[in-house]
A and B are shown apart, each in its own frame.
Chain A
Amino acid sequence: MSSLSRTDVEHLARLARLAVTDEELDLFAGQLDVVLTAVARVGEAPVADVPPTSHVVPLTNVFRPDEVTPSLPRDAVLAGAPAAEDDRFRVPRILQEEA
């Protein structure tokens, strides 16, 4: 596993829309590298004869009744949006769609 560079973390932070300081970049690069190395060990497990598993708990049919519960107040909902207009989320123009 190649180690994670400071530039990689900066790029990821931008994709995730996270504001990260210079000190944090150094900190996270080191931490994420440890995480990646740990996760990479999964690849060493002998799984040739293990069927793919999507759920680790042997549960089925977990349902909720069809009942309405309160939604979030709109102000709270839109507070998390980078931009809002007319009570809606404002997003950049979408390319390559309907002419």
Chain B
Amino acid sequence: MSTDRLLDFDEVATRYEPVIGLETHVELGTASKMFCGCSTTFGAEPNTQTCPVCLGLPGSLPVANEAAVAATIKIGLALGSEIASWCRFARKNYFYPDIPKGFQTSQYDEPLCVGGHLDVVVDGETHRVEIERVHLEEDTGKNLHVGGSTGRIHGADHSLVDYNRAGIPLVEIVTKPVPGAGLKAPEVARAYVTELREIVQALGVSDVRMEQGSLRCDVNISLNPVRAAEWGTRTETKNVNSLRSVERAVRYEMRRQAVVLDEGGRIVQETRHFHEDTGSTSSGRSKEEATDYRYFPEPDLVPIAADAAWIEELRAGLPELPAARRERLQQEWGISGTEMQWLANAGALGLVEQTVAAGATPGDARKWWLGDLARRANEAGSELAELAVTPAQVAELAGLVEAGTINDKLARQVLDSVLAGRGGPADVVAAQGLAVLGESDELVAAVEAAIAGAPDIVAKVQSGKVQALGALVGAVMKTTRGTADAATVKRMLEERVLSS
């Protein structure tokens, strides 16, 4: 669908330096909405979770949800932000049907949390992402565009709106511009969102499920010629809704903008839309006619003044944060910092930890998640956590290999079946008869038959040509249709041929 011409990615970095910026929206996992008691349950029937407050009916009065304020402060503390001792909500006025009130209750020049940073490591190199602000606002309703051929708004006759989501607490985390990432910018962007997601998850304040929209990302990208004094004009790509897409969106915009600049054109400051199917972006609203949101302090909500005692209480209740946890696990598992970073960037850390907790060795757990499973997730274009296999099942699989019930090759077959929804590893092994043969009667018989059937090879082996044994191993594997463990077969053959 895109007609953009793109510069080869490696070439972009020879002439341009990117500056990226990320605005991440986290829908909090509170039971009730930000300013009213409506439920926040995902997937409820349309417009069954609304009331006069979140519909903005005349005469209704909002009251802030204490748990949402506390959750926002926790996110700020985890990022090293300063917590405002006094701040207000503000009305962001605009007319769009996803906002029933005619304004979104947000924060403007007085965010709850200011500053902070998040360090991310890409290929062994640390990139510090400075945080500009963390503020609290409310989510909007959901529009469904009806009519037109593509289901998109273009060509739609009308829209249908569900306000269940309107008023759910939403935290916006905004970074300062991040220069200096160069060719690594796409990966730095992804690593940042991954790390942020892990922090929010560790804090337990949101389920941060990108596929359900409880974590959403807007990505700002500009390019400037190498060593230029000023940054270029940026575009803002909206609603980039998976970790992989964050990386792809940055990469795409870098390649697209480079062609425009190469040809002496200029980048238009605009909102762009990301298309998951093609990995491309397309022009949306131009920001050149800047929207005036006519922000003003929300008169219906009194200011928030978080006192030191409350902040310290929240700080004391913070869980172990991902960076500290990684350091601890790295020690426990005896792996390098780089290996640890691979795990984290692949979103595999928690999965590996749970797999180890379910009984696998750290080495086996890493091997499966970063090997076969990472490859399959990549092929499917999904996240590791979305694969249809649980850490407990991976541990079970590793256990079957460890016990010699199956070998690595069979384990991959078993994994295919598990991913296809045919049950847990042990069930699959039993149902499909995939177990390798131990020194069973069946295997002993196969070994003895192979020896009896090839006296010439036996003689060769006994005369010192030990590698001729391979032909006998092959014969046994053939009779047992690959269900035998090759090392076991070799040992059994050696015992019989060489000791006699």
B405 at the interface (CB under 8 A from A): no
A13–B80 Cα distance when bound, in Å, is 51
A55 at the interface (CB under 8 A from B): yes
- Cβ of B160 and Cβ of A90 under 8 Å apart? yes
Q: Which of A67, A86, A99 touches B154 (beta carbons < 8 Å)?
A: A99
A67–B63 Cα distance when bound, in Å, is 12
B429 CB, nearest partner CB in chain A, Å? 46
A55–B297 Cα distance when bound, in Å, is 9
Contact count band on A: 35 or more
A12–B34 Cα distance when bound, in Å, is 32
Known: A87-B47, A98-B273. A68 touches B86 (CB 8 A): no
Known: A54-B88, A77-B55. A88 touches B161 (CB 8 A): yes
B334 CB, nearest partner CB in chain A, Å? 42
B153 at the interface (CB under 8 A from A): yes
Interface of B is mostly: loop
The segment from A31-39, A40-48, A56-64 found at the interface with B is A56-64
- Cβ of A78 and Cβ of B47 under 8 Å apart? yes
- Cβ of A74 and Cβ of B38 under 8 Å apart? no
A88–B141 Cα distance when bound, in Å, is 11
- Cβ of B37 and Cβ of A69 under 8 Å apart? yes
- Cβ of B66 and Cβ of A65 under 8 Å apart? yes
Q: Which of B38, B66, B146, B299 touches A71 (beta carbons < 8 Å)?
A: B38
Residues on B with beta carbons closer than 8 Å to the beta carbon of A93: 153, 156-159
Known: A63-B65, A88-B162, A89-B47. A97 touches B284 (CB 8 A): yes
B445 at the interface (CB under 8 A from A): no
- Return the chain A residue nearest B55 by Cβ: A77
B39 at the interface (CB under 8 A from A): yes
Q: Which of B63, B152, B282, B305 touches A60 (beta carbons < 8 Å)?
A: B305
B130 CB, nearest partner CB in chain A, Å? 29
Q: Which of B38, B67, B282, B301 touches A99 (beta carbons < 8 Å)?
A: B282
- Cβ of A86 and Cβ of B160 under 8 Å apart? yes
Contact count band on B: 35 or more
A96 at the interface (CB under 8 A from B): yes
A91 at the interface (CB under 8 A from B): yes
B484 CB, nearest partner CB in chain A, Å? 59
Residue of A69, A80, A89 with highest tally of chain B CB at under 10 A: A89
- Cβ of B65 and Cβ of A64 under 8 Å apart? yes
A78–B37 Cα distance when bound, in Å, is 19
- Cβ of B160 and Cβ of A66 under 8 Å apart? no
- Cβ of B302 and Cβ of A91 under 8 Å apart? no
Known: A71-B50, A97-B284, A97-B285. A91 touches B32 (CB 8 A): no
B93 at the interface (CB under 8 A from A): no
Residues on B with beta carbons closer than 8 Å to the beta carbon of A62: 63-64, 301-302
A99–B296 Cα distance when bound, in Å, is 32
- Cβ of B46 and Cβ of A86 under 8 Å apart? yes
Residues on B with beta carbons closer than 8 Å to the beta carbon of A74: 45-48
Residues on B with beta carbons closer than 8 Å to the beta carbon of A77: 47, 50, 55, 163
| A68-B37, A80-B55, A87-B45 known, 15 other contacts, Cβ within 8 Å | A54-B297, A55-B299, A60-B86, A61-B304, A62-B64, A65-B67, A69-B38, A74-B45, A86-B160, A88-B47, A88-B161, A89-B97, A92-B159, A93-B159, A96-B285
29 residue pairs from A and B, CB less than 8 Å apart? A55-B88, A59-B302, A60-B86, A60-B302, A61-B304, A61-B305, A65-B66, A66-B32, A68-B37, A68-B39, A70-B37, A71-B39, A71-B49, A72-B50, A77-B47, A77-B55, A85-B160, A87-B45, A87-B46, A88-B47, A88-B160, A90-B160, A90-B161, A92-B159, A94-B97, A94-B153, A96-B285, A97-B285, A98-B152
Q: Which 8 A-B pairs have the closest CB atoms?
A: A69-B37, A54-B297, A63-B66, A66-B67, A88-B160, A60-B305, A89-B161, A91-B97
Residues of A within 8 A of B (CB): 54-55, 57, 59-72, 74, 77-78, 80, 85-94, 96-99
